[in-house]
């Protein structure tokens, strides 16, 4: 595996990325919360893009993977700024955004910021507004008091023995980035993929996003028994099918 390129943002954060040259639109993969660009979906999509001669970008947000910074210092707005910075610096022309979990939220923020460049969007268990509607809404009164007083709280994780540390800044800064409270126009082909067995981002989230967003070509695919990872061979094939469908819809 080649070493990633490095980009320093105007905020001084060093972002690691891999750019695969090829024909456009450029497919941009936006990973999830505490994920990095060496995950199953990111590498699968890079291999697919290389085989198809497709321009493809994957990167690590600050505090993730090979990028600089401490994860606990970050928040949704920082990671959105990171995404926009690397997209602006290393790509040109139209984009197809592919956002996984939190990356689905970041993709919606990017699409809202640079709508003229977006040719399409694919959400994989997209989790818009999760800091408010999942984390804060599900906290007990005691947990809310603890995070406000101590600045952070530890939550159990299904994916590792170490707990998730959720910071007060993550919650409070996320309130400035919500996308489901105001009109959300997705005026380009949009495909949402969602597993019915996803307990981290349940199907109700995808249905809410589908109901809230407006656009001429928005479709939701529910996959029975698929979980949040959405990384079985069948699920990975559905992702590339969705991207291909979006690309063909832009011709």
What ranges make up the beta strands (E) of the chain? 5-8, 14-20, 23-30, 54-59, 95-100, 118-124, 152-155, 164-167, 190-195, 218-223
Task: Assign 241 to helix, strand or coil.
Answer: helix
d(CA 251, CA 241): 16
Q: What are φ and ψ of residue 88, in 5° steps?
A: -65, -35
CB count within 10 Å of CB 41 equals: 23
- Tell me the two tokens of residue 202: 């349940």
Q: What is the dihedral of CA 144, 148, 150, 155, to 10 degrees?
A: 30
Active site residue 212: no
Active site residue 101: yes
Annotated catalytic residue, options 64, 78, 101, 200: 101
Active site residue 228: yes
Annotated catalytic residue, options 228, 241, 245, 249: 228
d(CA 56, CA 42): 10
Annotated catalytic residue, options 60, 78, 129, 198: 198
Task: Report the catalytic residues.
Answer: 101, 198, 228
């Amino acid at each position: 595996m080649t070493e990633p390129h490095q980009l320093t943002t105007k905020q001084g954060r060093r972002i690691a990325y891999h750019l695969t040259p090829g024909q456009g639109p450029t497919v941009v993969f936006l990973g999830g919360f505490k994920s990095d660009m060496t995950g199953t979906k990111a590498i699968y999509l890079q291999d697919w893009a290389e085989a198809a001669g497709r321009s493809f970008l994957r990167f690590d947000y600050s505090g993730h993977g090979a990028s600089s910074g401490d994860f606990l210092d970050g928040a949704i707005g920082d990671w959105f700024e990171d995404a926009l910075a690397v997209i602006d610096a290393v790509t040109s022309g139209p984009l197809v955004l592919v956002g996984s979990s939190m990356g689905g939220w970041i993709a919606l923020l990017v699409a809202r910021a640079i709508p003229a460049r977006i040719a399409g969007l694919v959400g994989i268990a997209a989790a818009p507004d999760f800091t408010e509607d999942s984390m804060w809404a599900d906290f007990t009164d005691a947990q809310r008091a603890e995070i406000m007083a101590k600045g952070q709280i530890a939550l159990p994780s299904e994916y590792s023995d170490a707990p998730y540390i959720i910071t007060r800044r993550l919650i409070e800064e996320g309130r400035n980035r919500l996308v489901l409270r105001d009109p959300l126009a997705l005026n380009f082909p949009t495909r949402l993929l969602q597993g019915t067995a996803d307990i981290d981002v349940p199907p109700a989230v995808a249905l809410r996003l589908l109901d809230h967003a407006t656009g001429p070509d928005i479709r939701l695919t529910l996959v029975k028994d698929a979980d949040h990872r959405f990384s079985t061979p069948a699920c990975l094939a559905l992702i590339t099918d969705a991207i291909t469908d979006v690309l063909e819809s832009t011709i």
